[in-house]
Amino acid sequence: MFNDTSSLRTHLATRRSGKARDMITPGPDADQLHDIIALALRTPDHGKLAPWRIVTVAGDQRDILAKLLKDAWIADNPGAAGMDLSALDQFAHQAPTLLVLISTPVKDSKIPLWEQQMSAGAVGMNLLHAAHAHGFVGSWLTGWAAYSPAVAKAFGAGEGDTIVGYFFLGTAAADLSERPRPEYDDVVRAWDI
């Protein structure tokens, strides 16, 4: 049981994503990262299937990631050059820390695929909260790099698996301003049956 609900509320009310390209060091150290991931794994999971995997990308693996992305992009877009490739380089190298979250649904389970995929999304949300709890900022990004089958395979995704997102973690360079949020009444209504 939480006995410090006001600080938990503050945590929930103040977390927001940062721009990965603006993140600076420090990122989480090894113990902090382990705890962030362990906290994120405390996620609702119908059937206790753990239908998700997290791949940590070490700092000295960023060049390998950049090459992987560029090779896969060129294979998909013959003749690609210049801006496209430098954007991929930038993507691969941004922020101090990078995790890749993969949805790995268990096939032929009685738990519907949708529920297993939602559980993977919940791990993603938990990662952002856990990073925030440790004083870091996170950013959940997808884009082409998340949907390239060649890139997914390089992260160990099998058939039916999907990259949920790249989770960049680090320190925010400046205070993050709040972004517009949906109006409560636009998205919440009493059941009017």
Ligand X SMILES: Cc1cc2nc3c(=O)[nH]c(=O)nc-3n(C[C@H](O)[C@H](O)[C@H](O)COP(=O)(O)O)c2cc1C
Q: Which spans of this chain sit near ligand X (rule: CB under 6 A)?
A: 16-17, 139-143, 165, 179
Q: Nearer to ligand X by C-beta: 12 or 29?
A: 12
Taking the C-alpha atoms of residue 102 and residue 55, their distance in angstroms, rounded to an integer, is 8
Contact 169, 131 (CB under 8 A): yes
Q: Nearer to ligand X by C-beta: 183 or 192?
A: 183
CB of 51 to ligand X, least distance (A): 16
Q: Nearer to ligand X by C-beta: 29 or 123?
A: 123
User: Beta-carbon neighbour count of residue 85 at 10 Å?
Assistant: 16
CB of 193 to ligand X, least distance (A): 31
CA distances from 52 to 34, 46, 151, 155, 169 (A): 16, 12, 17, 13, 19
CB of 108 to ligand X, least distance (A): 26
CB of 129 to ligand X, least distance (A): 10
Taking the C-alpha atoms of residue 171 and residue 26, their distance in angstroms, rounded to an integer, is 6
Q: Nearer to ligand X by C-beta: 27 or 165?
A: 165
